[in-house]
Each structure stands twice: as C-alpha cells, then as structure tokens.
Amino acid sequence: MNQGADYRSQEQRRAFVSPVPTKWERLKWFGPGFVWMVSSVGSGSILFTPRVGSRYGYDLLWAALIVTFLTWVIIREIGRYTVVSGRTILEGYEGLKGPRGWAVWLIFVPGIVSGIVVVSGIAALVGSALVIVLPLNQAVASVGIILVSAVLVISGQYKKLELVTTVMAVIMIVSVFLTAIAVFPGWEAYGRGLIPTMVPDFDLYFILPWFGFLLAGAAGMMWFSYWVAARGYGGEIIEGDDTLPPETSTKRSDADTRLRRWLVIMSTTAAIGVLGATIVNFSFLTLGAELLRPLGVIPEGIRVAEDLARLLGEVWGGPGQYLLVAGIFVALWGSILSNQDGWGRMYADATLMLLPRTMKRLEKGRSRAGLRRQLMNSYILVVLTGIPIIVFLLLRNPVVILSVAGIITAAHLPIMVALTLYLNLSRLPRHLGPGIFFTTATGFAIVFYAFFSILFFYNLLFS
C-alpha cells in the first residue's frame, strides 16, 4: 500500500457504507464468529486447558473468565477499526504517525518468531497423536505433516480440505461438550472457582502459555480483522490512499448511523465466537479436572496425546479415545494449514509495507498480486516449513515448544492491544471510536497481559 499524506493525516472512515442487513438477514453475517470459534480450538484448548484443569482443578476459572472478556474486547476493537475505516488492522498500523512502518515492525518481528514456534509445536502435538494409531515415529509424522501442509497451501489446494477439518473440529467440539456434561461436577465446583484466589503452587511458566492461547493468540485476534474485511462488514475494502470525498452533513449522518449498526452486528459476531470458544474451553477444563486430576495425570512429553486421549476414553471407552485422537489430528492439522496460510499472507503484506522501494524494483514485469504471492510462498517454505522442522528436531516435546510459543504470544499481546487502542483513538472519528467503557477495558487488557509477562521475565532473570 502506498502511504500518502492524505491517508496518514485524515480521519479514517469509509466514504461509502453498505446497507445494513435487517432482522433474519443478520444471521448470515455471523459466520466469521463461528469460523473464529472453530479456528481458536487449537493448542490452547486441546493441550493447555486440560493441563490447567488437571493441576489446579477449577481454582483458575475466574482467570479464564477475565481472559474471555478481554478477548472479546480486543477482537471487537480490532473489528471496529476495519468496519469503520474499510482497511485491515495491519494497514491501520502502517498508517500510524511516526517513522515509516514502526508499528508494523512491532507486529512483524515477534510474529516471525511466533509463527515458527507455533507451527513446530502443533506439528509435534499432531505427530504424538498419529503414533498412537499408526506405526510411525513422532519425527516422521511431524516433519511429514509440516511438509504436506506447505505443499497444500502453496498449491492452493488446502481450501478444499477446509470443510473436512472444520466438520471434524465441530464433531470433536460436540463430543468434548457432551463428555463434559456427563462428568459435570455441579455448579458448586464452578462457583468456588469463580472467586478470585491465589492458588498454591502458582507456576507462571505453566499458566502464562494458557493465558496466551486460551481463546486465540495475537495472530488469531488480528485475523479476525481479515475475516471481517473479507466478509464485507460495512462495505468493500478500501485500496491504496483513497480519501473521503466531500460530503453533505445529511450524507455523513446517514453513513455514521449505518456504521453504528454495522458495529453492533460485528460486536455480536465477536461475542458469538468468544462465547462458543469459551464453552469449548470450559468443557476441556472440566474434563481435565474430573478425569485427569483424580489420576494425577498432567499431559506431558513426547507422547502427550496418549494422556489427552483419556479425556474421552475414560467415559466412552476405545471409540471415544480414537475419536479424540482423530480430532486432534484433523483439527490441529487444519490449524497448521491456517497458520502457514495466515502468517504467510501477513508476512508478505508486512514486507510490502516495510520495504516499499525494494518491492517496487522487484515488481517490474509482474503484478502486485503476483509479487505478494511469491513473497508469501517464500515465507511459507523458509519461515513456516524449513525452520519449524529444525526447531522440532531440536526439541521434539510439544509441551515445551508450545509453552514457549504461548509465552511469546502472551508477551506480544499488550503491544498489539496498545497499538490497536492508539490507532482507534487517534485515527477514527471520535463518535465512532471506543467510548469510556471500551477504552478502559482495552487499557485493562494491556495492563493484565503486561503484568503477567513482566512478572514471568522478572522471575526468569532474577529468581
């Protein structure tokens, strides 16, 4: 995107706002919330939530509710920018005043590290699931799944698998929910967990990755902006340095009214996604507390999937065990595919923003879209395939790898949230930006994640 003076200096609001759907028509606009919910059922739900339930029972339920609320606030504010401005959140960061691309660098560099570790860790977890049912070792299974995923994403074939991975994820979600109902301990146990208390043996290395991945990491939250943009909330995406044309006060008032209604629809969509993901996470927490905790089992090590398979196997026997193994494989394989595709696109977009002169020279003789695709494929091959394989072969343990990824994500969140709040307050019209409540709530999210991240690194360095 070119960065003209008008774009950087003006209020960012759509010049044209699409008609707002009414009544039952609104239902079809809630799709991104469902997609976000399914995609969020990754390592946070499947790995870390049962581990927390097994070690702490329901004692940290209050913390889960805080993270849930903050997640809704964050993705709502990310979606707000896209609905009002007609641009993705990454484009918004690019347009912030100051040295060229400073905010994009703050997203891009941690994102490179996060993408590498997340792909490596999820592949290690998928590999640990495959060895339960196939005569393979974990290394062959994990490396193979990374390579196959890269081929599918680069060739553009992985979209054909999205329906399969989504359906399998839904089946696993329903199965886990029904199992949680079957072992539900009653509301009294939940009620005790809702009272904020400092648990004994509070292990921040154990808990911080859970905070980072509980519903979605920084990347998953940013991708909500892309889903909202692709779906057309508020209207079509604005390209380049489009500016607001002269408007009458009547037209502007009508456009603002429409935008407010679009914001309500987007907010509802975000709430649907967060609510669904919360039910899934509470189900996994219940299974960890009721099935693994009495056995003294905390899923660990290379064969972590064997411990996780007990979540359904303890209730439904062999079929339940194999259903969860299949769910881990298909749902998390879908997560690898979406991470390679999503991170690859984001890396390519960031590179085009950060190195405009170099990209202009490389663009000669080819289209902008073609250059973007080439950059994306290069990042997928090197950053999201080659390097994750090396990281996996060095560590092998999915719990260790994903714990590092979760800590990186948790530490990155306050930076991303602070940029989003600054963007919305400084670039959107005041009457369409965050009010006192959401400004305060977003500020609290910054403090919450920053506090635990700083505490972790302080203990790491000085304890």
Lowest mean pLDDT: which of 30-44, 246-260, 293-307? Answer: 30-44
Q: How many other CB atoms are found less than 10 A from the CB of residue 317?
A: 10
Q: pLDDT tens-digit profile of 56-78?
A: 999 999 999 999 999 999 999 99
Confidence of residue 123 (pLDDT cuts 50, 70, 90): very high
pLDDT at 1 over 50: no
pLDDT at 249 over 90: no
Residue 326 near residue 190, CB atoms below 8 Å: no
pTM of the model: 0.88
Residue 324 near residue 308, CB atoms below 8 Å: yes
Nearest partner of 121 among 419, 400, 457, judged by Cα? 400
**40 to 274, 281, 322, 329: CA distances (angstroms):** 9, 10, 22, 15
pLDDT at 343 over 70: yes
Q: pLDDT tens-digit profile of 128-148?
A: 888 888 888 889 999 999 999
Q: How many other CB atoms are found less than 10 A from the CB of residue 95?
A: 23
Q: What are phi and psi of 271, to 5 degrees?
A: -65, -40
Residue 449 near residue 105, CB atoms below 8 Å: no
Return the pLDDT at 36: 67
Q: What's the DSSP call for residue 30?
A: G
Nearest partner of 234 among 271, 266, 273, judged by Cα? 266
Distance CA 165, CA 334 (A): 6
Burial (CB count within 10 angstroms: exposed 0-12, middle 13-18, buried 19+), residue 331:
buried
DSSP for 1-70 reads ----HHHHHS----SS-PPPP-GGGGGGGGHHHHHHHHHH-SHIIIIIHHHHHHHHTTTTHHHHHHHHHH
Return the pLDDT at 295: 86
Distance CA 37, CA 273 (A): 5
DSSP for 408-436 reads HHHHHHHHHHHHHHHHHHHHS-GGGS--H
Lowest mean pLDDT: which of 379-388, 389-398, 435-444? Answer: 389-398
Return the pLDDT at 147: 96
Q: pLDDT tens-digit profile of 160-175?
A: 666 676 777 777 788 8
Chain-centroid distance, C-alpha 324: 22
Q: pLDDT tens-digit profile of 77-95?
A: 999 999 999 888 999 999 8
Q: How many other CB atoms are found less than 10 A from the CB of residue 319?
A: 10
Distance CA 325, CA 40 (A): 18
Confidence of residue 244 (pLDDT cuts 50, 70, 90): low
Return the pLDDT at 424: 95
294 vs 157 pLDDT, higher one: 294
Distance CA 183, CA 185 (A): 6
Task: Please report which residue ranges of 288-397 form alpha helices under DSSP H.
Answer: 304-354, 356-362, 368-381, 387-395
Residue 127 near residue 145, CB atoms below 8 Å: yes
Distance CA 281, CA 298 (A): 17
374 vs 324 pLDDT, higher one: 374
pLDDT at 197 over 80: yes
